[in-house]
Amino acid sequence: MTGYAYTILIPMIPLVMFLVTGLLGMKWKPIVSGLLGTIGMGTSWVLSLITAGSYFFGGHHAEGFQTIIPFETTWLRFTETLHINIGVLLDPISVMMLVVITTISFMVHLYSLGYMKGEKGFARFYAFLSLFTFSMLGLVIATNIFQMYIFWELVGVSSFLLIGFYYTKPSAVAASKKAFIVTRFADLGFLIGILILSFVTGTFDFGKLTEPGTAIFGSAASMSFMGISALTWAMTLIFIGGAGKSAMFPLHIWLPDAMEGPTPVSALIHAATMVVAGVFLVARMFPVIHFQAPDAQEIIGYVGGFTSLFAAVIAITQYDIKRVLAFSTLSQLGYMMLALGVSGYGGEEGLGYMASMFHLFTHAMFKALLFLGAGSIIHAVHSNYMYDMGGLRKYLPITHITFLIACLTIAGVPPLSGFFSKDEILVAALHHNKLLFAVEFLVAGLTAFYMFRLYFSVFWGKDRHYHHTPHESPLTMSIPLMFLAVASVFAGFLPFHHLVTSDKMGFDTEMHMAVAAPSVLIGLFGIAMAWILYKKESAVPEKLAQRWGILYTATYNKFYFDEIYLFVTKKIIFNYISRPIAWFDRHIIDGFMVGIGLVTEKIAYQIKGMQSGQLQHYAFMFVAGTLALALSLVYFLM
Amino acid sequence: MNILTSLVVIPILTIIAILFTKGLKGARLVSAIGMGVQLLVTAVLLFSYLGLRKAGVTDEMVFTADYTWFKSLNIHYFIGVDGIAVAMLCLTSIVVFAGIFASWEMEYLSREFFISLILLATGVYGFFISLDLFTMFLFYELAVIPMYLLIGVWGSGPKESSAMKLTLMLMGGSALLMVGIFGIYYNSAPDGGPLTFNILEIAKIQMPVEAQRFFFPFTFVGFGILGALFPFHTWSPDGHASAPTAVSMLHAGVLMKLGGYGCFRVAMFLMPEAAQEMAWIFIILTTISVVYGAFGAIWQTDLKFINAYSSVSHCGLVIFALLMMNETGMDGAILQMISHGLMTALFFALIGMIYGRTHTRDVTKMGGLMKVIPFLAVVYMIAGFASLGLPGLSGFVAEMTVFVGAFQHQDMFHRVVTVVVASSIVITAVYILRVVGMILLGPIKDSHHEHLEDAKWFEKLSTVTLVLAVAAIGIAPLWLSDTIISSLKPIVERLAMAIPF
Amino acid sequence: MIQGIPLEHFLIVSTIMFFIGVCGFIIRRNLITMLMAIELILNSVNINFVVFNRYLYPDQLQGHFFSLFIVGIAAAEASVAIALIINIYRKLQNIDVENVNELRF
Amino acid sequence: MDLGQFILMRQELLLTLAAVVVLIAEIATSEKNKARLVPFSIGLFALVTIIGFIPGQEGTLFGGSYQSSPLTMFMKNILNMAVLIIFLQAEGWLRKEENLDKISEYFILTIATLIGMNFMISAGDFLIFYIGLETATIPIAGLAAFDKYKSQSAEAGIKLILSSALSSGILLFGLSLLYGATGSIYFADIAGKVAPNALIALGFIFFVSGMGFKISLVPFHFWTADVYEGAPIGVTSYLSVVSKGAAAFIFTIILFTVFKNIVDMWQPLIYTLAVFTMTLANLFALRQDNIKRFLAFSSIAQAGFILLGVLNAGELGMTSVVYFVLVYVFTNLGAFGVVAAVHNASGVETISGYNGLYKTNPKLSLLMTLSLFSLAGIPPVAGFFGKFFLFTAAAGAGYYILVLIAVLNATISLYYYLRVVKAMFIDQNEQPIPTFRSSNAMRLALVMCVAGVFIIGFASGIFEYIRTISQLFLN
């Protein structure tokens, strides 16, 4: 299929941009790097749109979409069967991801031209953006799980670099470290999962792994460790990797802090693209998980469900708008995971899978929009906190409208895209697991509530006294907002069930009024609640907060998870493991080695008396020695 | 003259040339030229080697040369290289080259410094090319001894004591080694015939199993001490901390590799049965040293100590992988040797340069250096990423090969310890990021650090050389790994044939 | 003639002399006396040689000659020793071996 | 027998001649020209040394009392070279005012002892051996007391003469027992008759302890340190190199030829002695500050290493011992040369006095370092090869554990050798020994040592030659 050979350019262009701006960026005027990066990004955006167009709509796909590998080369060979390839794999989800990533990334590039203007390290910022985009693209087009792992790591690092962009700010440094280490910990699970999987199946290749009814798992069934089958281990561990990136509970703690990074970064990495890598991974391995490790799939479902509820609850109480958005991201990711967890394989059964991907797509659009909007708000008022904001709608009209659209979308108000995707998920959940359905139903309401809490308290209410009157952001920032707004409005009408499905075969879905109507209603109810509580300044929220007392504070402090982690790392690891080991090494082991020397010297001083200088002592020794030898020898002889 | 012999001759000539120079300028110029030539020769060697292989030469060793030395004891000057040796030689040349430039401004007794440094290098080159246990051992000790003067005279801190500790521990190691070598020698002809030190000859026969059981531990531990095998690693933190920059580079980068190299080239290759039988002991030890070293590094505050402990961890990984005794694992071990050699040399070079500016190695006293010395800081970050196994840098390739190889082992015990060992990558991330966060990022802690000047040209040259090497392996590892694997075949086969009893 | 005396008696005597000499050398503080003790040892050796020769190997003279040489060399040794003792006396004004311990440890 | 056969013992004869010539020259020279004796005697001895290298045929004299073979000749040549170097090194010291009237004594006594040693080496029966032994011992006592105005020197003399007298007494007692047991004093006859019975065992032990005194093995070594420290350096180096070397030679020869039937009996004995000697000597050397005393203990430790070669009762053992002594001669004389040079120039005799020597006298310090490394057995200098072959010999006899002990001891010894290196290179000193230029003779001697230390190791021909001649000798 050489027809798609050009797809290799899609990741390559950002890479080149990274190298160029990274090495030469300091020498140029900042704006040059910015424009260069943006143009480059634009090119690969166009390319991926072309790819998507020709892949999805070029020719009919009665027999389903083909998996196309236009480019592949061996990068490192472990054994005859096990080798890491670097290549491009095109199938519905990867193409879909290509579109998502390049779109959002391009928008962010564009947006940052305005947002980051005058920041020192402007060039560095664009270099990192390009690096991230390259890694992310490489991740989604991976032809085998190890290539995915490679780019998985790269993504982690570029996120580390971008979170820590303001590297003189200790909080930023801490956040970046936390993000990297937590995800790294999860990646360990991923790695071990890969090791087990490759040991069992003898291959890294997605093609071989996910091919329906493949025989490579024949031997696997027998293998088990601690009573659990090897594949369940493998899949669970790999899911842990995914959970780390997608910030599933309990590995979610890094995401809120990651908001220390520049807002466009949050939009790109921590809302739209990187955090869905985990979902993508699970989707990628879906056949294996579904057929070989159903237990693992159960886990995925419940973790997703819990995370979405958990995050939604926390989101209600946060005041930092970016954190609210971060927690809403968590909860939406929970949705996607849950959808995968409850999905079946093939046709109608695969509804959850389709829904998950669908929601991934729409969520990317409106969440990016939300973040960019938040960015432009922060840009205007120079604060992250709701209580510094209010009545901004007249100052920031465009931002206001787009933000409103986004809120409605996420609240699942028809006919906006969020409605469709969320609805599909609910349906899928309903069919497989009533409990999870209930949870999601509740969360839908919560989502609507906290989003509009945010919306009202920022754009309505009365003015705060701002240092200078907030002003609408420049065009470079508002264009992306508008584009994404449009996208979030209409994305819902894409026929996903014909494009992105578990078995690559299209199928037909119809409205399930039984599900849609209640979900819309509860969404509206949430909005109404928010209207009542936050439309006007009122003491009601305060009272409520006091009423709930302890529960409120617990929620406000994100159920003290950061503290727990802090305790584990700082106290346990540092004080109770490293410190003793360091001490042990210096004093016991090294002490022993040094001790040998000291003892020798001590003996040397102890025995100096033998050389007394008295001739007759010497003579005595002499004779005594002789006789001793004689006696011993004679004794041995006898 | 045989190209390999020239690898030993050039340094000696360089030393002689230095004797005729006056002061720092001449000495460093001569050494730079000499080691530059050496680097070129190594490159030529590498390409001609690859050429030979491509031409289908399948001998285990190439460029061999064999001169009888002590006839009655059948001691030969027998040299030759396979892919692994070539790789190690390249590593050595690169590190030495970088080391010369890293010590470009060694004012105090500069001639003597460069002479000892290059003498050390000579020993290393000789060790890697020799296939005769006697010559090998000779060069081994030749490489170890200059350390004493290098650390004692040009070191810092408690230099005398650390130099003495290092020398004595390594010499104690070579004591065990010597016994092992004699054991091998006197069992090299179990069924009559002349005794020999020739590794290839001995590899043809099977030593009596009892003899192997007795001598394998001696040989393995003897080399292991130089490879910082737990619990014989304690010379390394002190030694590194006190040593001058270039010496730390050479020592951690190259000298410690002699240990790993000897472990498989001599101990395991010549005594496979015993290796198979006793592997588990050393696997446990190395597993400990991998995790232990990493945890130890977390708590340190002296940059060099941090690096020394991470070296313990990484070198532990080398021996661990060797003991997996399958192709992939050992391939990973070699890769890890090379990658660790390069990046730890890079680390020590940078630490030296930073120390030269801030006059402290205490991480708690530094901060925000990224602002003032961006070049060094960025390179330090790269080194750090290499060390925590970031794809695209050598560390990742090596570690992944090790893990995959180790996990392919059929025995459950090996797979479990592999998981334990793999967990070290997280700990590594923790201490690397801790250091980076403390010294490079954040606000500037010490007002004196606000006006430091960034790297000079020779420092850039020194570090960039290493960075390029690290990145090259990280981006295109295939040719290297294939070269190594093809050279590993005889060793692995021999180990596989040895049935554990 | 000495036919009546069995070999053992000579050997016993010589052994006793030997150990007397050794003990004398170790115990007596006076350098000259120590020298005499050595003479005792040498003489016990002489007795051995002569007696062995006379009793066990009467048809050869090796033992006799050996003892002669011993006597001669002993004289030389004694002379040098005494010279050195005198030298010591010049330094210390006495010849007590216990004072000869400047060099030690 | 015709006098032509006396050519066999030409080395002894030449030495005797040399001694006599020196004596006559002494008489001939007037008071003010005494100093001229030094170059004269040295030249004379150099001549003797060179002539010694002319290969001679092997054979026996006096019905087997005197035997000569390439090996014995080679041993004698080694000793001659050593003495020549010592003379060159002593030149500066002899020219000093207080020694002017004793120059000829020094040469005559030294040469006399050398004659004794040559006879020991060539001895074919215990009588010649004993005469040689005493000839080699008694004059040294005189030499040790050479500085007769120094109480230390006098003490060294008395200690040496008395303890050597005791040791030779005990040795003689052993010999008498052996004679009683075997009925002969000829090596050849005894070799046939020795059997592991109590009497021979006793005699053998006494013999070993007598020899142990000469080679200074623990516990027969106590005199060593004191005498080395007290005696003038020219004598100390002679004691530590020549007389020890000769004793090692003859000890090895006798063990390998006379007592070869009871190898199983004496190997454990030597094993024990080796362990004790190496370990104790090292422990004592650790804490010395006087460089001569320090070198004394180090030389005792070296004697312990020699025993490892002796343990292998075969040609490899003989080869390694001879080879090691050859190496040891140049190595140790290198060290002593530096000590002598420094002493002549500044009177310093302590290790701490050497602090910062490298700053002022780099060449000497390098030479010292080289010699010390060679003593410690560090490549690429000859000491490494010497030790390695000794250990090879021991391992060949299956004594792996002993080899391990030995190498660990070598490590300890490295510690104290490095102490000296540290003093010279690392330790700072506000007033170090001033820069000085030592006499040409000294420089020549040192150059010879360096050349030896470098060449002997790499030139495998030497080792092979020794191997062949000891093969010849042993069967």
Q: Is C2 a member of any domain?
A: no
Chains with 3 or more CB pairs under 8 A to chain D: A, B, C
Spell out where A381-491 has E strands. none
Q: Say if residue B501's pLDDT is above 60.
A: no
CA distance B212 to B219: 10
Is the Cβ pair A604, D219 closer than 8 Å?
A: no
Q: Is C104 a member of any domain?
A: no
Write down the mean pLDDT value for chain B: 89
pLDDT number for residue D246: 94
CA distance A623 to A392: 109
Mean pLDDT for A359-384 is 86
Residue A1 banded pLDDT, cuts 50, 70, 90: very low
The two three-digit tokens of residue D429, written as one number: 């000193």
Per-residue pLDDT tens for D272-310?
Answer: 999 999 999 999 998 888 999 999 999 999 999 999 999
**A-contacting residues in B 293-332 (Cβ below 8 Å):** 295-296, 298-300, 327-328, 331
pTM of the predicted protein model: 0.91
Residue with tokens 């990136």: A245
Is the Cβ pair D166, A619 closer than 8 Å?
A: yes
Nearest Cα to Cα of residue D196 among D263, D252, D251: D263
Residue B365 in 3-state DSSP? Answer: helix
CB-based contacts of A528, cutoff 8 Å, min separation 6: none
CA distance B315 to B227: 6
The two three-digit tokens of residue C17, written as one number: 């002399």
Q: Could you report the predicted ipTM of this complex, rounded to two decimals?
A: 0.89
Residue B107 in 3-state DSSP? Answer: coil
For residues C89 and D154, the answer to whether their CB atoms sit within 8 Å is no
Main-chain phi, psi angles of A588, to 5 degrees: -80, -65
Quick check: A46 contacting D, CB < 8 Å? no
Residue with tokens 């004191």: D226
For residues B154 and B106, the answer to whether their CB atoms sit within 8 Å is yes
Q: Say if residue D264's pLDDT is above 90.
A: no
Quick check: C90 contacting A, CB < 8 Å? no
Among B293-297, B409-413, D366-370, D390-394, name the one with the lowest average pLDDT.
B409-413
DSSP-derived secondary structure for A357-411: HHHHHHHHHHHHHHHHHHHHHHHHHS--BGGG---GGGT-HHHHHHHHHHHHHHH
Residue B1: CB atoms within 10 A of its CB come to: 7
Is the Cβ pair A623, C22 closer than 8 Å?
A: yes
Contacts of D159 in chain A (CB under 8 A): 615, 618
- Per DSSP bridges, beta strands A224-225 and A228-229 are antiparallel
CA distance A401 to B259: 68
| Residue B76: strand pairing partners | B68
CA distance A92 to A353: 12
pLDDT number for residue A543: 72
Q: Is C51 a member of any domain?
A: yes
* Strand (E) or helix (H) holding D268: helix D263-286
Residue A460 in 3-state DSSP? Answer: coil
Mutation site, B161, B168, B230, B295, interface A, largest A CB count within 10 A: B295
Mean pLDDT for A244-258 is 85
The two three-digit tokens of residue C47, written as one number: 């007795």
What residues make up the domain containing C20?
A: 7-99
| Residue D290: strand pairing partners | D350
Handedness of CA B13, B14, B19, B21 (dihedral sign): positive
For residues A72 and A85, the answer to whether their CB atoms sit within 8 Å is yes
Nearest Cα to Cα of residue D118 among D170, D49, D213, D41: D49
Per-residue pLDDT tens for A163-187?
Answer: 888 888 888 888 888 888 888 889 9
Quick check: C60 contacting A, CB < 8 Å? no
If one counts the domains in chain C, the total is 1
**Nearest residue in chain A measured CA to CA from C102:** A613
Contacts of C37 in chain A (CB under 8 A): none
Is the Cβ pair A619, D163 closer than 8 Å?
A: yes
Amino acid identity at A88:
V
Is the Cβ pair A622, D268 closer than 8 Å?
A: no
Quick check: A76 contacting C, CB < 8 Å? no
Q: Say if residue B449's pLDDT is above 80.
A: no
Nearest Cα to Cα of residue B235 among B216, B248, B254: B248
| Preceding amide of D434 cis, omega within 30 | no
Q: Is C1 a member of any domain?
A: no
Mutation site, D283, D300, D414, interface A, largest A CB count within 10 A: D283
Apex B171 CA angle, B166 and B175, nearest 5: 150
pLDDT number for residue B408: 85
Mean pLDDT for D82-102 is 89
The two three-digit tokens of residue D54, written as one number: 């002319």
Distance of CA A523 to the CA centre of its chain: 27
For residues A344 and A318, the answer to whether their CB atoms sit within 8 Å is no
Alpha-carbon gap: D303 to the closest alpha carbon of chain A (Å): 17
Q: Is C90 a member of any domain?
A: yes
CB-based contacts of A120, cutoff 8 Å, min separation 6: none
pLDDT number for residue A472: 74
Is the Cβ pair D463, B70 closer than 8 Å?
A: yes
Nearest Cα to Cα of residue D37 among D46, D47, D24, D48: D24
For residues D318 and D259, the answer to whether their CB atoms sit within 8 Å is no
CA distance B187 to B270: 11
pLDDT number for residue D1: 57
CB-based contacts of B65, cutoff 8 Å, min separation 6: B2, B4, B5, B77, B78, B79, B80
The two three-digit tokens of residue A107, written as one number: 């928008």
Per-residue pLDDT tens for A38-61?
Answer: 999 999 999 999 888 888 887 666
pLDDT number for residue B106: 83
pLDDT number for residue A623: 92
Interfacial residues of C (vs D; Cβ cutoff 8 Å): 18, 21-22, 25, 31, 34-35, 38, 41-42, 44-45, 48-49, 52-53, 56-57, 60, 62-63, 65-66, 69-70, 73, 76-77, 80-81, 83-85, 87-88, 90-92, 100, 102-104
Q: Is C105 a member of any domain?
A: no
The two three-digit tokens of residue D275, written as one number: 């362990």
Mean pLDDT for A226-241 is 85
The number of residues making up chain C comes to 105
pLDDT number for residue C1: 47
Per-residue pLDDT tens for B37-52?
Answer: 999 999 999 999 999 8
Residue with tokens 């705060």: A464
DSSP-derived secondary structure for A337-363: HHHHHH--SSGGGGHHHHHHHHHHHHH
Quick check: D412 contacting A, CB < 8 Å? yes
Per-residue pLDDT tens for A99-137?
Answer: 999 999 998 888 888 888 877 888 888 888 899 999 999
Per-residue pLDDT tens for D196-248?
Answer: 888 888 899 999 999 999 999 988 999 999 999 999 999 999 999 999 999 99
Contacts of D198 in chain A (CB under 8 A): 634, 637-638
CA distance C44 to C24: 14
Residue B73 in 3-state DSSP? Answer: coil
Quick check: B442 contacting A, CB < 8 Å? yes
Q: Say if residue A618's pLDDT is above 60.
A: yes
Residue A507 in 3-state DSSP? Answer: coil
Please classify residue A355 by burial: count the beta carbons closer than 10 Å to its beta carbon, then call 0-12 exposed, 13-18 middle and 19+ buried. buried
B and C touch with 3+ CB pairs <8 Å, answer no
Q: Is C27 a member of any domain?
A: yes
CATH code for the domain in which residue C48 is found: 1.10.287.3510
CA distance D321 to D323: 5
CA distance C19 to C25: 10
**A-contacting residues in B 382-401 (Cβ below 8 Å):** 385, 388-392, 396-397, 400-401
Mean pLDDT for B47-72 is 88
Mutation site, D176, D205, D229, D289, interface C, largest C CB count within 10 A: D176
Residue D61 in 3-state DSSP? Answer: strand
Q: Say if residue A544's pLDDT is above 80.
A: no
pLDDT number for residue D450: 93
* Region label for D183, one of left (φ > 0), alpha (ψ between -120 and 50) or beta (otherwise): left
Among A64-68, A357-361, B73-77, name the one with the lowest average pLDDT.
A64-68
Nearest Cα to Cα of residue C86 among C39, C31, C26: C31
Alpha-carbon gap: C69 to the closest alpha carbon of chain A (Å): 24
